[in-house]
């Protein structure tokens, strides 16, 4: 269930009610809230892209649209704003749903009626006297145009999460303070307590009610009488309440005097008796005694920190992902089952490769890729120094020597010219790393490897752990257009996640079979690969040919337990369904950063080759820390104090103590990589970043220089 206006009275009260009944996402705009048992998220409902991103990502089965400009006089003062929030916003929500089978519930108002006769039914004419009533009435139309759309006209009171008061709260507060108040004797309504309204909505949703209904209390009273009911129920002195006329009060907007509603139609449709006003007041009192208002109001204070922690990267998990995993947990197989194969097929199809072999991490994927390439003792494997250590460790695992070729200063990727300098007769493989998501110059690398190799086979293994969804010269990274194998990762900070996981993509069937053996102890269950035939097969006279024994397997290699599970694969499959949205959001954040930092002479934004269309995994800026007046550590700590995590990607691998001690690498081996390392700093980049958080990051980065000096 998606509830708009979660920071408002009704939206918040409904979110609290439905928290234990649905998986609820509450949307707010300017007032952050934390509500126990549900997720909340900032979203400008007038921002079409932001709205579609939320709807497409969450895929609600029900939307209750509560967000509106409900201050009657404010609507009269600013009819344009009222039109945008009460009409245009509702239409955008309906449009965002498209043809989705989502039930849209719209909370309208009794102010759509003229307020002269009272006991209005749905068949009575709507003649609103003010801008609020007119815009709420116009907002009903796009909902009623949708199949299954439900419009509820009501008047309500409840507990406000913000520093505002509904009529019921105001009366209660004034009487509790011993202050005298006036109540309109000539303003009649059929108000209903929000939690009672929530119960009606709950029944309506479960019975799939659609159409237009009045939804107030079963009876009516004047606002003066309503104040008396609250005084009596809470034990206050009713003599503090005096009757006054609405005619004596100078409102900006005209108001109807008798807006009482007939709710017979919804009672008949739901076979549900609407509460009367006394029952609503009684429920209001009981919730008050149980501490409900304190619990609601504490929700907003829990978000008091103006600088929430913003990680540099994180997973983006929605309800669809959760349900995909839950389904596997409820199935018979949770380890190596059908989801693994389905995930591999989907991954291969997405990347344009013939085969995918999924494993338990990107590191494992690199290892078995080297094993499948025959990398071993006496061999050398060329890779980049600007990468995670796994890109080089995979060679060391096999007994080979990692060799580091310096980077291109603009792309941060391994330089083809530097690869050429490091090639030798011992080179068994080259592992180009697509740093931050941008592809290396694979065509140039493939050409020089072929030219250098001669009659030998030198494998090219793309480390694309940062680059799922990227393109190079119009070809998908992962299609192995210029390589033998491509490795990717599904760690939580990557583009999609399986918790932990990775895969090797290839177009070579033999390599695929070899990779699968190394993934699972070096064991094969394929009869055509069996070598000890007298143990593997039995003679079946009816079949005419030897038949493999059903229990039989053979270990052909020294493999590993690098298998991925059905649980992880189900999550991966679900994540891949939103790859397009993930890519779009990442690119949008990168574009916003680039725009904001374009004119800074102390921060170089990432360069993107014209050959590439990059699905950025990292946003790496090159900082002139001397110009800022702070070193990198102080800069990172200052940003962290504002709730912003940064990271360094990476310490050059050839400077790591293990490689210096084991392979004799040293400072000065890769000068461009070392220069890059002194200036690089990664800023937050992940699809779960809100626009508000992006702007907070930008603001704190722009403020660095003045603070440093």
Q: Which domain CATH number covers 648?
A: 3.90.1150.10
Please check whether residue 369 is in contact with residue 598, taking contact to mean a CB–CB distance below 8 angstroms: no
Rounded CA gap, 390 and 255, in Å?
A: 70
Instruction: With respect to residue 455, please indicate whether it lies within any of the assigned structural domains.
Output: yes
Around Cβ 184, how many Cβ atoms within 10 Å? 22
Q: Which domain CATH number covers 453?
A: 3.40.640.10
- Same domain? For 160 and 276 the reply is yes
pLDDT higher at 293 or 158 = 158
pLDDT higher at 709 or 506 = 506
Instruction: With respect to residue 313, please indicate whether it lies within any of the assigned structural domains.
Output: no
pLDDT higher at 500 or 322 = 500
DSSP H or E segment with residue 103: strand 103-109
In tens, the pLDDT along 464-507 reads: 999 999 999 999 999 999 999 999 999 999 999 999 999 999 99
For residue 116, pLDDT over 80 is answered with yes
For residue 204, pLDDT over 50 is answered with yes
0.75 cut: is pTM over it?
Answer: no
- Same domain? For 619 and 536 the reply is no
Confidence category of residue 306, pLDDT binned at 50, 70, 90: very low
How far is CA 265 from each of CA 198, 276, 295, 320, rounded to the nearest angstrom? 18, 16, 35, 36
Neighbour-count burial for 72-82, b at 16+ CB within 10 Å, e otherwise? beebbeeeeeb
Instruction: With respect to residue 340, please indicate whether it lies within any of the assigned structural domains.
Output: yes
What is the rounded average pLDDT of the residues 34-45? Answer: 83
- Same domain? For 447 and 532 the reply is no
Rounded CA gap, 327 and 541, in Å?
A: 44
Range scoring the smallest mean pLDDT among 23-32, 450-459, 507-516, 652-661: 23-32
Confidence category of residue 296, pLDDT binned at 50, 70, 90: confident
In tens, the pLDDT along 691-708 reads: 889 999 999 999 998 765
- Same domain? For 572 and 587 the reply is no
In tens, the pLDDT along 439-455 reads: 999 999 999 999 999 89
pLDDT for 218: 95
In tens, the pLDDT along 147-202 reads: 999 999 999 999 888 777 889 999 998 999 999 999 999 999 999 999 999 999 99
For residue 53, pLDDT over 90 is answered with no
Backbone φ and ψ for 523, nearest 5 degrees, come out as -95, 145
Instruction: With respect to residue 645, please indicate whether it lies within any of the assigned structural domains.
Output: yes
- Same domain? For 669 and 688 the reply is yes
Confidence category of residue 304, pLDDT binned at 50, 70, 90: very low
- Helices 579-597, 691-702: axis angle to 10 degrees equals 30
- Same domain? For 166 and 111 the reply is yes
For residue 249, pLDDT over 90 is answered with no
Instruction: With respect to residue 314, please indicate whether it lies within any of the assigned structural domains.
Output: no
pLDDT for 707: 62
Q: Give me the domain span that covers residue 548.
A: 523-556
Which residues sit opposite 213 in a β-bridge?
A: 152
Rounded CA gap, 548 and 562, in Å?
A: 26
In tens, the pLDDT along 381-395 reads: 999 999 999 999 999
- Same domain? For 249 and 373 the reply is no
The question of whether 494 is a catalytic residue gets the answer yes
Which residue carries 């409840």 as its tokens? Answer: 158
For residue 302, pLDDT over 70 is answered with no
Omega cis (within 30) before 650: yes
For the record, the structure tokens of 6 come out as 């979660």
Instruction: With respect to residue 397, please indicate whether it lies within any of the assigned structural domains.
Output: yes
Confidence category of residue 303, pLDDT binned at 50, 70, 90: very low
Range scoring the smallest mean pLDDT among 200-204, 206-210, 541-545: 541-545
What is the rounded average pLDDT of the residues 507-526? Answer: 97
Q: Which domain CATH number covers 34?
A: 3.40.50.720
Rounded CA gap, 303 and 322, in Å?
A: 25
pLDDT for 301: 40
Report long-range pairs for 264-270 (Cβ below 8 Å, ≥24 apart).
264/121, 265/121, 265/122, 265/213, 265/214, 266/152, 266/200, 266/204, 266/209, 266/213, 266/214, 266/215, 267/218, 269/207, 269/209, 269/213, 270/200, 270/203, 270/204, 270/207, 270/209
- Same domain? For 195 and 53 the reply is yes
pLDDT for 182: 93
- Same domain? For 202 and 330 the reply is no
Q: What is the DSSP letter of 488?
A: E
pLDDT for 191: 96
Average pLDDT, the chain: 93
What is the rounded average pLDDT of the residues 196-218? Answer: 95
Instruction: With respect to residue 170, please indicate whether it lies within any of the assigned structural domains.
Output: yes
pLDDT for 250: 84
- Same domain? For 510 and 653 the reply is no
pLDDT for 299: 58
For residue 307, pLDDT over 70 is answered with no
What is the rounded average pLDDT of the residues 8-20? Answer: 90
Instruction: With respect to residue 306, please indicate whether it lies within any of the assigned structural domains.
Output: no
For residue 292, pLDDT over 90 is answered with no
- Same domain? For 538 and 620 the reply is no
Last residue of a domain, one of 244, 275, 301: 301
Total domains in the chain come to: 4
What is the rounded average pLDDT of the residues 77-93? Answer: 94
- Same domain? For 572 and 535 the reply is no
In tens, the pLDDT along 256-277 reads: 999 999 999 999 999 999 999 9
pLDDT for 318: 78
For residue 517, pLDDT over 60 is answered with yes
Report long-range pairs for 321-324 (Cβ below 8 Å, ≥24 apart).
321/571, 321/574, 321/575, 322/23, 323/574, 324/570, 324/571, 324/573, 324/574
pLDDT for 31: 77
Which 3 state secondary structure label does DSSP give 55?
helix
Please state whether beta strands 427-431 and 459-463 pair in parallel, antiparallel, or not at all (unpaired): parallel
DSSP H or E segment with residue 380: strand 380-383
Choosing from 223, 229, 476, 494, which is the catalytic residue?
A: 494
Q: Give DSSP secondary structure letters for 567-594.
A: HHHHHHHHHHTTHHHHHHHHHHHHHHHH
């Amino acid at each position: 269930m998606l509830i708009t206006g979660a920071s408002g009275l009704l939206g918040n009260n409904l979110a609290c009610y439905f928290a234990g009944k649905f998986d609820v996402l509450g949307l707010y705009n300017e007032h952050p809230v934390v509500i126990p048992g549900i997720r909340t998220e900032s979203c400008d409902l007038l921002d079409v892209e932001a709205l579609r991103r939320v709807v497409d990502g969450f895929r609600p089965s029900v939307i209750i649209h509560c967000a509106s400009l409900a201050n009657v006089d404010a609507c009269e003062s600013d009819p344009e704003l009222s039109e945008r929030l009460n009409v245009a916003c509702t239409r955008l929500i309906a449009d965002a749903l498209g043809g989705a089978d989502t039930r849209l519930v719209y909370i309208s108002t009794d102010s759509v009626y003229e307020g002269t006769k009272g006991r209005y039914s749905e068949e009575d004419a709507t003649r609103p006297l003010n801008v609020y009533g007119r815009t709420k009435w116009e907002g009903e139309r796009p909902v009623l145009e949708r199949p299954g759309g439900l419009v509820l006209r009501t008047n309500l009171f409840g507990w406000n999460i913000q520093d505002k008061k509904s009529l019921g709260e105001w009366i209660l507060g004034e009487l509790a303070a011993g202050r005298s108040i006036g109540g309109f004797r000539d303003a009649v309504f059929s108000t209903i307590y929000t939690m009672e309204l929530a119960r009606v909505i709950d029944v309506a949703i479960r019975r799939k009610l659609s159409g237009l209904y009045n939804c107030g209390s079963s009876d009516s009273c004047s606002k003066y009488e309503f104040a008396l009911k609250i005084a009596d129920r809470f034990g206050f002195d009713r003599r503090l309440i005096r009757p006054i006329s609405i005619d004596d009060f100078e409102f900006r907007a005209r108001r109807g005097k008798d807006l009482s509603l007939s709710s017979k139609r919804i009672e008949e449709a739901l076979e549900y008796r609407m509460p009367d006003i006394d029952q609503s007041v009684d429920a209001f009192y009981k919730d008050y005694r149980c501490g409900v208002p304190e619990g609601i109001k504490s929700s907003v204070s829990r978000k008091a920190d103006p600088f929430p922690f913003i990680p540099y990267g994180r997973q983006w998990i929605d309800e669809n992902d959760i349900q995909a995993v839950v389904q596997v947990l409820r199935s018979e197989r949770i380890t190596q089952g059908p989801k693994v194969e389905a995930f591999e097929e989907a991954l291969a199809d997405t990347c344009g490769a013939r085969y995918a072999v999924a494993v338990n991490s990107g590191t494992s994927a690199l290892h078995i890729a080297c094993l499948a390439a025959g990398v071993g003792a006496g061999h050398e494997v060329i890779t980049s120094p600007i990468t995670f250590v796994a890109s080089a460790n995979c060679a060391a695992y096999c007994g080979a020597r990692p060799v580091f070729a310096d980077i291109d200063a603009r792309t941060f990727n391994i330089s083809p010219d530097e690869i050429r300098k490091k090639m030798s007769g011992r080179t068994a493989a080259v592992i180009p790393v697509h740093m931050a998501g941008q592809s290396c110059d694979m065509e140039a690398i493939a050409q020089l490897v072929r030219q250098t190799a001669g009659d030998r086979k030198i494998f090219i293994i793309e480390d694309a752990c940062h680059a799922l969804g990227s393109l190079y010269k119009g070809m998908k990274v992962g299609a192995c257009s210029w390589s033998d194998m491509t490795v990717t990762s599904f760690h939580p900070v990557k583009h999609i996640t399986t918790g932990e996981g990775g895969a090797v993509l290839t177009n070579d069937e033999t390599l695929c079979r070899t990779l699968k053996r190394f993934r699972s102890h070096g064991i094969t269950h394929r009869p055509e690969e069996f070598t000890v035939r007298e143990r593997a097969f039995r003679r079946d006279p009816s079949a005419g040919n030897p038949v493999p024994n059903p229990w039989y397997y053979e270990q052909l290699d020294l493999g590993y337990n690098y298998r991925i599970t059905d649980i992880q694969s189900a999550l991966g499959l679900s994540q891949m369904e939103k790859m397009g949205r993930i890519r779009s959001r990442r690119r949008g954040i990168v574009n916003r950063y680039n725009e904001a930092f374009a004119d800074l002479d102390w921060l170089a934004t990432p360069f993107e080759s014209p050959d590439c269309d990059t699905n950025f995994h990292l946003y790496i800026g090159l900082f002139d820390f001397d110009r800022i007046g702070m070193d990198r550590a102080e800069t990172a700590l200052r940003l962290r104090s504002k709730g912003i995590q940064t990271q360094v990607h990476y310490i050059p691998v050839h400077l790591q103590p293990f490689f210096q001690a084991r392979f004799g690498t040293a400072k000065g081996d890769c000068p461009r990589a070392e220069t890059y390392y002194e200036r690089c700093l990664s800023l937050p980049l992940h699809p779960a970043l809100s626009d508000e958080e992006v702007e907070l990051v930008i603001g704190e980065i722009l403020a660095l220089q003045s603070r440093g000096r």
